[in-house]
Structures are given as C-alpha cells and as structure tokens.
Amino acid sequence: MMHKPGKVVVVSQHFPPDPSTTAAIMAAISERVAREAEVLVLSGTAGSAAVGKPSVVEVRNWMPGKAALLKRALAELLFTFRMFVAMLIKLRRGDVTITVPAPFMLPYAFAAAAKLKGARSVLIMHDLYPDVLVMAGMLKPDSLLAKAMHAFNAPMFRALDAVVIIGRDTEKLLLRYRGMTRDKVRFIPNWATLARGVRAVDPDNPYRRSLSARFVVGLSGNLGFTHDPVIVFEAARLLRDNGDIHFLLSGWGVGFDQLKALQAEAKLPNVTLVDRVEDHQLEIFLSAADTWIIPYRRNVAGVSVPSRFYNLLAIGRPVILVSEADAEAALTVIEHDVGWVVEPGRADELAKTVSLAANDQDAQRGARAAEVAGRFDFETAMSEYRNLIHELLQTPN
C-alpha cells in the first residue's frame, strides 16, 4: 500500500463524460491511483462530478469551437486562471499534482501553483509547445509568441518535479532547456485500449461490405492541426483508377471537414467517408481495413505521439505512417517491421506505398504488429505511474 503524507490532485480540462483520449487517460490514471491514495480531480468538463470516485471538483470552463481561434484562446486563458485559483485553494504541502498541456497555457500556471503550495508536480507531455503550434503552421518559429513560450518553458521545467514523456523522441527536445535534467524525465508510453490479437479481414464487416475493392486502406481519429489529411486524399486521387484499392476515411476535427469539402468537389469513386465512429464500434471499424494511415505534417518528431497507433497495432494491422523517421511511432514501425514510413508532404510517395502495401507478401506483418502492441500495455503504464507518484509522495519537501 502507498503510505502517503499527502493526496494526489489530478488537474485536467478534459475528463469523462468528455469522449476525448485525454479524458480517458486522465480518468484511468485517477481511478488506478485512487486504489492506494486519496485522489482529487480538478476537472474542466461539465458533468464530471457525477461520475463518482474519485472525488471531482468542476472548474467552470467555456469551450468555443476550435475554428473560433480568438474566442478559444480567451476561453483557455480564463480557464487557466480559474484552475490556478482552484489549485491554490485545494493543494497542500506534500501533495502530488498531475496535469497535461491542454490548454497549452495550463502547465505554466500549474507549475507555479504547485511551487507556491509546496506540492510535487508531474507534467504528462502529450504535446510540446510551442513546437506543436509551429509544426501545425499556426505560429512562426521566430515569432514573438514562440520566443516567449520558449523563455517561459525554462523556469516551468525547472519548477516541475517530473515530466512524463510518451515518446522517446521528446527527451532531446526537453533537454534543450536549462531547467530540464534527465533525472526528471520518465518514459511512460500510452496504451492500447483494445485486446491484442489479429482480427481476420471479414468481407461481411458492415464497414467493408459495400466496398468492392480487394484492399482497403483506412484513416481514423481526430484530424487536428498537426495532421495532414490532404496528403491521404491526394494519394487516393492518384490511385483513383486502381480498382483494387479503396480508401475508407473517418474522423472528426478540422481535417475531416477538409476531407468532406475535397470529396464533395472531386467525388472520387475510391473514397468512402464515415462520420466519427463511437467507441463501441471502434474494433469493428478498425478491423474493416487491411492497413491504416496516420498522416502527420512535417517536424512531428518529439512533438506529438498518435495514441491511435497502439490500437491499430493491437488489432494486427500494419501502419503507414507519414512522418520523419526519427519520430516515436516511426521508430516502432521501423524497428519491428510493422509497416511503412513516408516522408511528409509527398502524396506521390504515399500512393506508391499504399500500392506496395496492397501487394505485400509478408503475411506475418499483422501478427508482429499485435505482438508489438504488448509493449504498450495498460497495466505496465499504471504500474509506472503508481511508482512515480509513490516516489514523489514519499519525497520530503
């Protein structure tokens, strides 16, 4: 049992019933740690206090649509201030507090509040700012805001007690900051939510039944500013006359809106669009395709790791990853030969790779993918989080 001098305070804008991956991850950590320690969740999601254990305090949060960038920035700034105040009220010396960089201003207030209250602090680095904004084309690398964020990152990292990275490629970017040291970095990858095992390709799968092509390539999940869904559509355009290959594209976010607009104009016969698939249908949907594409923009290495990657491996499907070869997911693909890596921005190369995958003779690639998924295990990750929190709770101030 964890003999604790303080409680664990989980700080998250997203928490169930929010359907996002971040909400699911923070809930899983909260529930597991609550078995051995007192846990309090400060949540920005309405209705989360009704979930039950662990204890949840809702922090009022206004969430404009992602397209309303100015309103969203103001709302996130207001939420960050409210969360800072809530932390000052709820934190006590000896507590351990955990958060993720959503919104991106939150970690600065988080680290400051923890330091002021004498609490230990852990940042789970799902995305690295400002790098992810630069990658998405929303910020110039030499802009005043980017320089300011880099400047603020150094004291933030110095104030934090631990930074959890979910990709090995993030460490070198963190160590650019004087406030970061290797002993603060913990590598705890996210996990597959589906059971491991190769799912047979079933022609009667409801998502595949109407498709006459022999080979189906899929795209699924949130298509945000860091993704490049257009490269997938342009690859489909290049392959429109290949009757053996069909593109099954699903998701949500600004990128999926782009795909809808492109298909409304082009009406490609080899493209089928499917609105967001609910969690209870996810396994069936992922089983419908022979391979899956994850399309990133340039400069993803160290900046973002696709959580959907682990479920694609778990169901025994090879992955075509559009990213630099030194990004975390690309390293896994290359090291274990469970798919292909394509240079960002090259629709012609992606089309060639899809054709290569459609004629791939390696029957064991899917089996290797399912085996590799065992490295990204829920129980292993929870054990790592438990050990980290135990260590910090036992560390005297």
Q: How far, in whole angstroms, is CA 359 from its chain's centroid?
A: 31
Residue 11 has pLDDT above 70, yes or no: yes
Are 19 and 133 in the same domain? yes
Write out the DSSP string of 125-179. ESB-TTHHHHHTTSS-TTSHHHHHHHHHHHHHHHH-SEEEESSGGGHHHHTTSTT
What backbone phi and psi angles, to 5 degrees, belong to 30? -60, -45
The pLDDT confidence band at residue 2, using thresholds 50, 70 and 90, is: very low
Residue 121 inside a domain? The answer is: yes
Are 148 and 22 in the same domain? yes
Q: What own/partner pairs with CB < 8 Å and gap ≥ 24 does 273-279 have?
A: 273/249, 274/207, 274/248, 274/249, 274/250, 275/250, 276/250, 276/251, 276/252, 277/220, 277/250, 279/19
Token readout for 23 is 């909400």
Are 389 and 364 in the same domain? no
Sort strands 339-342 and 319-322 into parallel, antiparallel or unpaired: parallel
Instruction: Let me know: does 249 contact 319? Beta carbons within 8 Å.
Output: no
Cβ atoms < 10 Å from Cβ of 324: 17
CA distance 4 to 386: 12
Sort strands 291-295 and 215-219 into parallel, antiparallel or unpaired: parallel
Quickly list H helices, the chain.
21-33, 69-90, 106-117, 131-135, 144-159, 171-174, 229-238, 254-266, 282-286, 308-314, 328-336, 347-358, 365-372, 378-394
Residue 67 has pLDDT above 60, yes or no: no
Query: What pLDDT, on a 0 to 100 scale, did the predictor assign at position 3?
Result: 47
Q: In what order do the strands lie in the sheet with 291-295?
A: 271-275, 245-251, 215-219, 291-295, 319-322, 339-342
Query: What pLDDT, on a 0 to 100 scale, did the predictor assign at position 65?
Result: 66
Residue 260 inside a domain? The answer is: yes
Query: What pLDDT, on a 0 to 100 scale, did the predictor assign at position 300?
Result: 85
Are 151 and 235 in the same domain? no
Are 325 and 381 in the same domain? no
Are 59 and 118 in the same domain? yes
Are 381 and 304 in the same domain? no
CA distances from 63 to 71, 80, 156 (A): 9, 12, 25
Mean pLDDT lowest for which of 22-36, 40-54, 101-115?
40-54
Query: What pLDDT, on a 0 to 100 scale, did the predictor assign at position 152?
Result: 93
Are 284 and 268 in the same domain? yes
| Domain limits for position 304 | 215-375
Torsion, Cα 329 335 337 343, to 10 degrees, reads 50
What backbone phi and psi angles, to 5 degrees, belong to 77? -65, -40
pLDDT digits (tens, 9 = 90+) for 171-184: 999 999 987 999 99
Query: What pLDDT, on a 0 to 100 scale, did the predictor assign at position 82?
Result: 97
Query: What mean pLDDT, rounded, does the chain reach?
Result: 92
Are 63 and 169 in the same domain? yes
CA distance 308 to 88: 35
| Structural domain count of the chain | 2
Residue of 285, 271, 206, 216 lying closest to 244 (CA atoms): 216
CA distance 140 to 148: 12
The pLDDT > 70 percentage for the chain reads 96
Q: Report the CATH number at residue 131.
A: 3.40.50.2000
Query: What pLDDT, on a 0 to 100 scale, did the predictor assign at position 1?
Result: 40
Residue 261 has pLDDT above 60, yes or no: yes
- Tell me the mean pLDDT in the region 267-288: 95
Are 346 and 269 in the same domain? yes
Are 267 and 283 in the same domain? yes
pLDDT digits (tens, 9 = 90+) for 184-215: 999 999 999 999 999 999 999 999 999 999 99
pLDDT digits (tens, 9 = 90+) for 324-382: 999 999 999 999 999 999 999 999 999 999 999 999 989 899 999 999 999 999 999 99
Query: Three-class SS of residue 325?
Result: coil
The pTM of this model reads 0.87
> Which DSSP category does 288 fall into?
T
